[in-house]
């Protein structure tokens, strides 16, 4: 079973990823300063891959960029497998 600390961390980082993808999409539509791709991918790698994937789908954002359309789901699968290996 996962520790409470890890559960809280994963909830927070995934919520942050979702929010960042939404903010970046809004800024893209308005032609404003954007959140870097390194930050968007970095938060996915830091454990926010589910939130990033949901953000991509919900906001239709970064879905045509291969490093996102293949990278984020790949990160999500790897992270899910690691969690299953250690906790189930």
| pLDDT for position 1 | 74
pTM: 0.94
Measure the CA angle with vertex 69, ends 49 and 58; round to 5°.
65
How far apart (Å, rounded) are the C-alpha atoms in residues 54 and 15?
10
How far apart (Å, rounded) are the C-alpha atoms in residues 3 and 13?
16
How far apart (Å, rounded) are the C-alpha atoms in residues 66 and 63?
8
Answer with the residue of higher pLDDT: 87 or 19.
19
Domain boundary assignment for the chain: 4-87
pLDDT at 73 over 90: yes
Residue for token digits 């690691």? Answer: 82
| pLDDT for position 74 | 98
Give the burial string for 33-50 (b: 16+ CB within 10 Å, else e). Answer: eeeeeeebbebbebbbbb
pLDDT digits (tens, 9 = 90+) for 11-70: 999 999 999 999 999 999 999 999 999 999 999 999 999 999 999 999 999 999 999 999
| pLDDT for position 59 | 97
What does residue 34 show for φ and ψ, rounded to 5 degrees?
-110, 160
How far apart (Å, rounded) are the C-alpha atoms in residues 86 and 23?
33
| pLDDT for position 88 | 85
pLDDT band at 2; cut points 50, 70, 90: confident
């Amino acid at each position: 079973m996962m520790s409470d600390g890890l559960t809280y961390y994963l909830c927070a980082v995934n919520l942050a990823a979702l929010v960042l993808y939404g903010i970046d999409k809004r800024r893209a539509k308005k032609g404003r300063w954007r959140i870097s791709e390194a930050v968007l991918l970095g938060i996915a790698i830091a454990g926010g891959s589910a939130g990033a994937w949901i953000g991509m789908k919900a906001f239709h954002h970064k879905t045509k960029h291969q490093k996102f359309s293949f990278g984020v789901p790949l990160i999500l699968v790897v992270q899910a497998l690691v969690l299953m290996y250690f906790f189930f």
